[in-house]
Structure 1
Amino acid sequence: MVRSRFGLAMVLVLPVALAACGPREGERNLDSLDQELIDGNSAGNTRDPALMSALQDQIMVDPTLASQANNDAVRPPAQPYSGAVPADGIAGGARAGAGAGTSEAVKSTPAPKAGGCAQCDAARESLTLGALAARQKDPRTADCASKMRYSTRWVQRLPADLPLYPDARVSEAAGAEGGGCALRAVSFATSASLQSVLDWYYTRTTNAGYSAEHEADGAEHVLGGTRDRDDGAFALFLTKRGDGGTDVDLVANNGR
């Protein structure tokens, strides 16, 4: 009786043990997938040629970027990866050309008027383009300043007679549209000298029918004016930079 029970137990345990020794269902699936990939590389196989080409093609490597990867190093790279912002002069031509890319005969800006520069104080005390617009002499500009919204798209809607300087690099832009407002404001930098930028805008604005008044306080200059036929007004704030270039804020109430 004991022997029969022992035999029965062995009969029940043996299939379980054999099943444990065999491959699991997941392992069989992985094996079959591996075999399918191997078969896919064999000649004459009818699998997707685009897929096989993608699997068998060599990996493209950019040697310039690969040299910066430093994947196997314990320490971080000795220097940052190259991705610096180009210098302001990368556009070229604005510093050298008197006309800054236009056919206009550039006129010299008159010397700044005596008696201080109230607009220079406004520029120094304004932290945003909206605050700067709110302190303008033109009532329409000041009234629309509270409606200004910030986006670089406003650069594309500057007045046609008050465009960006040719090699300008925009850092911020804002504008207001509707309800009698067509206000535009933009901050930009250029590699051109302050006098070159000042003369360029003086030429364009006076040729377009604006009056133009020049004020200065040390390295800060302001050129502003109005136009009677459409109540247009503009103010240009220029500051000389240490590298010889110029930082500019432009505010105009007659945008497109």
Structure 2
Amino acid sequence: MGVLFACAFVAACSNEHVVPVADEIDPAVAAALNDQILTDPDLSRQNEGSAALTGGVDHALPLVNDSPRASDAAREEALALLGGRDRLLRLPPVAKRGEEVPLKDRITVTARAAYAGASERCVRSLRRGFIWAARMPAQFPVYPRGATQEAAGNDVEGCTLRAVNFRTPVPPKEVLAFYHTRALGAGFSSTLTVAGEETVLSGRRGDASFAVYARTGPSGLTDIDLVTRGL
């Protein structure tokens, strides 16, 4: 009888339409997460044991391809977005030096958004999820092949906000030069400052603003927090 039941079960299953898991993945999310090949990332945003500090994650954190080939490919894709190597602008000189951003203001992207000047109301309305990395403004996308670790955003009226953390093997200065070029091309100001271990690129265009916080993590990868408001 057990054999008959097993056969019946298999026969029933064989008649069901099975949708491949891959078909259920949002293409925009997949694009935002980019390559996911093993490395040794630093743990502050990935260790689930720190969920009380990070405010939770999506349980699908990508890893970073830090091979030379991947780095070169990321650079070439970034240059293509700019329109070619000759369009990449040099970073401006450092305008000022400040104190290091407190850990409490950079442990999550929501805290970073508040530090970058977002109002308390806007920060409270932030929604967490990798999809927000795919919804970054066209002027300030996640750097090509950057592995998104955390993202949040909202489209509340008068409170459009995006905040994303990602990692890349491309050095901080190159990543910042990419965003500097994008900012100027979109009519934003662009100012460079140094705050402790971080280099910060920020600017405004009317009521809209952006901020890019770049640092080298313990694993040697570049760790980026990117915040945009009003875009």
Please, which of 158, 161, 167 is the counterpart of residue 180 of structure 1? 158
Q: Which deviations, in whole Å up to 9, do the C-alpha atoms of 1:132-157 show, x marking residues without a partner?
A: 111223xx555411111101111121
Q: Distance in 2 between matches of 1:241 and 1:127?
A: 13
Gaps of 5+ in 2: 15-36, 39-62
Tell me if structure 2 keeps the 8 A contact 1:154–1:174.
Answer: yes
> Quick one: structure 1 residues 111 and 232, their matched pair in 2 at CA, closer, same or farther if it must change by over 3 Å?
same
> Quick one: structure 1 residues 129 and 207, their matched pair in 2 at CA, closer, same or farther if it must change by over 3 Å?
same
> Quick one: structure 1 residues 253 and 125, their matched pair in 2 at CA, closer, same or farther if it must change by over 3 Å?
closer
Gaps of 5+ in 1: 1-25, 38-50, 55-82
> Quick one: structure 1 residues 206 and 93, their matched pair in 2 at CA, closer, same or farther if it must change by over 3 Å?
same
> Quick one: structure 1 residues 98 and 151, their matched pair in 2 at CA, closer, same or farther if it must change by over 3 Å?
closer
Cα offset, 1:243, TM superposition:
5.3
Q: Distance in 2 between matches of 1:196 and 1:215?
A: 15
1:199 equivalent in alignment to 2:162: no
Q: TM-score, normalised by structure 2?
A: 0.64
- What amino acid is the match of 1:117? G
Tell me if structure 1 keeps the 8 A contact 2:77–2:144.
Answer: no
Q: Secondary structure at the match of 1:93?
A: helix
Tell me if structure 2 keeps the 8 A contact 1:93–1:100.
Answer: no
The structure with higher relative contact order (CA 8 Å, sep 6+) is: 2
Residue matched to 2:114: 134
> Quick one: structure 1 residues 148 and 99, their matched pair in 2 at CA, closer, same or farther if it must change by over 3 Å?
closer
Cα offset, 1:88, TM superposition:
3.1
Cα offset, 1:232, TM superposition:
1.0
- What amino acid is the match of 1:190? T
Q: TM-score, normalised by structure 1?
A: 0.59
Tell me if structure 2 keeps the 8 A contact 1:94–1:101.
Answer: no
Q: Distance in 2 between matches of 1:94 and 1:241?
A: 21
Query: Pairwise CA RMSD of aligned residues?
Result: 3.1
> Quick one: structure 1 residues 100 and 244, their matched pair in 2 at CA, closer, same or farther if it must change by over 3 Å?
farther
- What amino acid is the match of 1:110? P
Residue matched to 1:113: 95
> Quick one: structure 1 residues 218 and 99, their matched pair in 2 at CA, closer, same or farther if it must change by over 3 Å?
same
- What amino acid is the match of 2:185? N
Residue matched to 2:224: 248
Residue matched to 1:237: 213
Please, which moves more after superposition, 120-129 or 198-207? Answer: 120-129
Cα offset, 1:191, TM superposition:
0.9
Q: Distance in 2 between matches of 1:222 and 1:237?
A: 5
Q: Distance in 2 between matches of 1:98 and 1:163?
A: 12
Percent identical residues: 30
Q: Distance in 2 between matches of 1:159 and 1:239?
A: 22
Q: Distance in 2 between matches of 1:227 and 1:237?
A: 18
Tell me if structure 1 keeps the 8 A contact 2:64–2:168.
Answer: no
- What amino acid is the match of 2:108? T
Q: Which deviations, in whole Å up to 9, do the C-alpha atoms of 1:156-192 show, x marking residues without a partner?
A: 2111101110121001100122232211110000110
Cα offset, 1:94, TM superposition:
4.5
Q: Distance in 1 between matches of 2:197 and 2:175?
A: 14
Tell me if structure 2 keeps the 8 A contact 1:222–1:236.
Answer: yes
> Quick one: structure 1 residues 123 and 216, their matched pair in 2 at CA, closer, same or farther if it must change by over 3 Å?
farther
